[in-house]
Amino acid sequence: MDAVIENLPAILDAFWLTIKLTAISAVISLILGIVLVAMRVSPLPVLRAVGTAYVNGVRNSPLTLIMLFSGLGLGTVMSLKFSDDLSVQDFWLAIIALSLYHASFVCEALRSGINTVPMGQAEAARAIGLTFMQNLRLIILPQALRAVIAPLGSILIALTKNTTVAAAIGVGETALLMKNLFELEGDSVIPIFIGFAIGFLILTLPTGLFFGWLAKRLAVVR
């Protein structure tokens, strides 16, 4: 236990970074996921094809590969620059990878939500003169979103845990710190591990409970 308590400030810092990675990536994934699902259900075949190709490509790639591609490919080879400060630079490259990856899951969750909205409502919306985008924004997506709150919660939990992959490009979040602590405090491996595992439970358990509650509250009565 001492090893955990002694390193508590560093551990809290690392968890704070995890929270930031999670929160920012969650927002970007949601926005990108909505754009992708709009493409996938759009009347234009080109947009549909691009959306489908994106989801199939990204969803089936290992996150670690996408993370390394973002860190080395975008950052080093293609010189995408967010900041001269290396830790800030890596932080944003990690967010790009996490967002690109999880957006494909958000898209697919939303698409299954769209399937729960009765076709007739979309037709009625067209019949009063709403455009495709208005229809999506005002009628279809609000109901689709409410239908998939619980699965979106699962994606958020997965995202929270998947932030640890950012260690692969040296972002100083929890997994990287745990690895370093293991090396420094070799005889306290088990308490350190338990400390970090509990830290993640503290983040993810309430997420699941909150989304379960939200899903019930926002359900559309038919």
Partner 1 sequence: MQKHFGSLHVLRDINLNIDRGEVVVVIGPSGGGKSTLCRAINRLETIDEGRILFDGRPLPEEGRALARLRSDVGMVFQSFNLFAHKTIMENVTLGPIKVRGVAREDAEKRALELLDRVGIASQAQKYPAQLSGGQQQRAAIARALAMNPKMILFDEPTSALDPEMVQEVLDVMIELAQEGMTMMVVTHEMGFARRAANRVVFMADGQIVEENTPDEFFTNARTDRAKDFLSKILTH
DSSP states along 148-204: THHHHHHHHHHHHHHGGGGGGGT--SHHHHHHHHHHH-GGGHHHHHHHHHHHHHHHH
Q: Which is nearer to partner 1, 125 or 157 (CB)?
A: 125
Cα→Cα distances 67→73, 94, 169, 177, Å: 9, 6, 7, 18
Question: Which of 47, 130, 150, 215 is the binder for partner 1 (CB under 8 A)?
Answer: 130
As to burial, measured by CB atoms within 10 angstroms (0-12 exposed, 13-18 middle, 19+ buried), residue 196 is buried
Of 72 and 150, the one with the shorter C-beta distance to partner 1 is: 150
Residue of the chain from 134, 154, 180, 207 that contacts partner 1 (CB under 8 A): 134
Choose the binding region for partner 1 from 57-65, 67-75, 140-148, 205-213 (rule: CB under 8 A).
140-148
Part in contact with partner 1 (CB under 8 A); list of ranges 50-58, 104-112, 134-142, 200-208: 134-142
Does position 128 interact with partner 1 (CB under 8 A)? The reply is yes
* Whole-Å CA distances, 78 to 68, 73, 81, 86, 129: 13, 6, 9, 16, 45
Residues 203-222, one symbol each (x = binds partner 1 by CB under 8 A, - = not), give: -----------------xxx
- Residue 76 binds partner 1, judged by CB under 8 A: no
Binding site for partner 1 (CB under 8 A): 118, 120-121, 123-131, 134, 138-139, 142-143, 146, 220-222
